[in-house]
Amino acid sequence: MSEESSLLKGSTSMNDTMVEEVEERDPESNPLNEPLLKRNRTLSSNPLALVGAKVSYIESLDYEINENDLFKQDWRSRSRAQVLQYIFWKWSLAFLVGLLTGIIATLINLSVENIAGYKLLAVVNFIQNERYLTGFLYFTGANFILTFVASILCVCFAPTAAGPGIPEIKAYLNGVDTPNMYGATTLFVKIIGSIGAVSAGLDLGKEGPLVHIGSCIASILGQGGPDNYRIKWRWLRYFNNDRDRRDLITCGASSGVCAAFRAPVGGVLFSLEEVATWWRSALLWRTFFSTAVVVVVLRATIELCHKGKCGLFGEGGLIMFDVSDVSVTYNVMDVIPVVIIGVLGGVLGSLYNYLLHKVLRLYNLINQKGKIYKLLLSLSVAMVTSICQYCLPFLAKCTPCDSSLSEVCPTNGRSGNFKQFNCPNGYYNDLATLLLTTNDDAVRNIFSTNTPLEYQPSSILIFFALYCILGLITFGIAVPSGLFLPIILMGSGYGRLLGILMRSYTNIDQGLFAVLGAASLMAGSMRMTVSLCVIFLELTNNLLLLPITMIVLLIAKTVGDSFNPSIYDIILHLKGLPFMDANPEPWMRNLTVGELVDVKPAVISFKGVEKVANIVNALKNTTHNGFPVMDCGVVPTIGVASEATELHGIILRAHLIQVLKKKWFLKEKRRTEDWEVREKFTWVELAEREGNIEDVAVTKEEMEMFVDLHPLTNTTPFTVLESMSVAKALVLFRQVGLRHMLVVPKYQASGVSPVIGILTRQDLLAYNILTVFPHLTKSKRK
């Protein structure tokens, strides 16, 4: 239950009728034409989000250390051996995250390559025997079945497994609890669904899902297993808190990127640049350790594959385009085509973001109608993709093989750059080389170097146009899907085409043009620079590409930022997740937190020794997560001797529910002793966030009893003066990872409460503030 306010839905408020409509609608549809959070003009209503299998509350996470008496006693009493044990298990979990992510990534790669390989071998055999219709039916039928398996799992068992999962991970690490994102069912569906969707030849990748898979593994390990079968070991329960779980999920996200691209440093930098909001040096070392374990597992797999133990395609499905043996030479004039690629990448990337936003809004209207429509949408996209991949190569002309090439031409069966398809012996079909193959092989083929005459411009143009269309219509269907590979395919298409057009004006290889095109489009759409540069350098294994890659990425990101946000930010907005940006709006400096809390209802607080009935009523009638605890009539130790009201701290809803569950009540109004608290509670128990007020039964006699809240109260909450600007408060809120920020008066007068309000995440979001304060117009913001 959270105290956070809901977001705005256009300019209308959410009334009871709207809530009934939401409950009647398919809760798994995840509508993307409107934010999932139902918005309201006030700053105190409940945010509802259509996430997972039912309507759920979106809550913030408690990253702040809750320094109550039990916590202080626990850390004072810990021995050096216990501290070392805690550190040891943190590193052990980081090792297990990397190990399991590497193993699962290997299984996914080998499964995709072999399933797709047997499918393509059968299709090639039909084509060689000129049984074109049979080959078409087999190809489309196999893709239909694979997509059906992936989609039915997502629609019926784990709706949150659809899509890449990276926006939700980014929101979680920002402090937003995204329900049902990291469960065992989601992990299983993500793995099987990725295998099915990628094997079906859909224009999507397994890179984004691998990031989600790594995060799911980390979350499950951190909490001791799936929800229904958790291990209750004492040492493992120390990790059952939001702070340690956040660090583990960061390791999992880095491991997923490393497993996708075999780029350990790039994986660490991806988490640092793209998904993680909060970072520190100790976390840097653990994420690097996790990615190092992943690389070891992948390297061992590659060694096995080279010995022929990986089935049909011996590279294990890893996207590798090693150009370390290519002599990269360029001069000052080559900067011109590099700049052109960067500008094109920024323009096309922002255009892709804009069009994808429109497509997702359209898909929402379809998905809202129910599960069957989501399934039919996925299958329709699969049929369109299969028809295009099989039929378009017939439009290409057969190209004679170059007798000087050492590679077998034409090739049939296994992967190669010269697919024979419908051509006679001694000829190959260059478009079939790019379309009638796995996506990973398509990347390797179009990135191939020292092949200036291998592809005709018309074939590259068809390839680019097709994957632009497929890239728009495929993302958003109910299957696990990543954005990396579709963007790489689109970018490499216009990059190679530009290389062909400028062949006589530059010394840069066409394959390197394709690499630069892919990098520019990724930077133009995802707005990554440093991590993307390192990932491409680790993939190409050629440091000579560093200068031109940096130029391309910087230009593409700069151009893209001038049009619209990154694709992940757009998805975050569509899903309605209350993500808190790093940079506050300039107009926020003209508004104080005191003005902000004035529009909120009066804060609900408790006395240090509170009546049980008051606690139960507050928990049942509000959704607040934190309550200030105050003591009246306290004589300060310094200053004037008159009595004052003391702010003892803030107590969490979860702790109050545990007090009610354990019946820790007093018959008389008094303070408890330390031993009384330690007899009933432990710090490990207080770290858990389980329990609901509806599950607690309190008798009439117990309602008249009292509870001493002092031992369970966080005595060091973050407080700010009412005169602080909203901009400064937002920066503090985000950097420290807060859930509650107490606003205190600048002048403490007699009889005035020491707390005038509490700010939470949604109170500090720009669209909430602008709705409550309409006088902050665009002209004033300028």
Spatial distance between the Cα atoms of 24 and 456, rounded to a whole number of angstroms:
54
Cα(647)–Cα(753) distance, rounded to whole angstroms? 9
Residue-wise over 271-286: b if at least 16 C-beta within 10 A, else e? Answer: bbbbbbbbeeeebbeb
- pLDDT value for 10: 34
457-474 and 484-501 are packed helices; what angle lies between their axes, rounded to 10 degrees? Answer: 160
Alpha-carbon gap, residue 49 to 68, rounded angstroms: 32
The residue type found at 469 is I
The CA-based angle 412-418-424, given to 5 degrees, is 70
SS3 580: coil
The closest of 109, 94, 103 to 252, measured between CA atoms, is 94
For residues 515 and 479, the answer to whether their CB atoms sit within 8 Å is no
Dihedral Cα 393, 399, 405, 406, nearest 10 deg: 50
Residues near 517 by beta carbon (within 8 Å), at least 6 away in sequence: 341, 344, 345, 491, 492, 493, 494, 495, 496, 498
Name which of 683, 709, 738, 664 is nearest 72 in CA terms.
683
Q: What is the pLDDT of residue 348?
A: 95
Query: What pLDDT score was predicted for residue 36?
Result: 43
Give CA–CA dist 139/267, Å, rounded: 35
Collect the ranges in the chain with pLDDT lower than 50.
Answer: 1-56, 315-317, 779-782
In the chain, what are the domains?
89-578 (1.10.3080.10), 586-781 (3.10.580.10)
Q: At what angle do helices 166-174 and 242-261 cross, to 10 degrees?
A: 150
- Decide: 374 and 478 in contact? Cβ < 8 Å: yes
User: What is residue 417's predicted lDDT score, i.e. its pLDDT?
Assistant: 72
32 DSSP 8-state letter:
S
